[in-house]
Amino acid sequence: MYSEKVMEHFEHPRNVGEIPDASGTGTVGNAKCGDIMKMDIKVENDVITDVKFKTFGCCAAIATSSMATEMVKGKSIDEALQLTNKAVAEALDGLPPVKMHCSLLAEQAIHAAVEDYQKKHPKE
């Protein structure tokens, strides 16, 4: 049902945890399935230098959170805003159709963290 990459990110998730002095935090959830994702980002010179997540959810929710953090770490704010759920799913070698909402939550959590950062640090 799941690709090897999904299982790898589920069994050995990257960037789990919280950033105490996060530059931005985004929390999103899906009431239907009960998945909740929280993403913290640390930004320096408009680049995401660190990103951590905490996810309460299924295998796909944890795997997509893990992959999304890997995809935005080291990227600029503008690049992070380009992240799509399709790109996250493709990086995991696909998701079952009933689990695509998990990749959408990962996209939304990253975007919410970036938007929180932008609110706290408006551009001149």
33 is catalytic: yes
Pairing of the two strands 24-29 and 36-44: antiparallel
Residue 43 CB coordination number (10 Å): 22
102 is catalytic: yes
The one-letter code for the residue type at 92 is: L
Which of 7, 33, 91, 100 is the catalytic position? Answer: 33
> For 31, left (φ over 0), alpha (ψ -120 to 50), or beta?
alpha
Which of 61, 102, 110, 114 is the catalytic position? Answer: 102
Q: Which residues are catalytic?
A: 33, 102
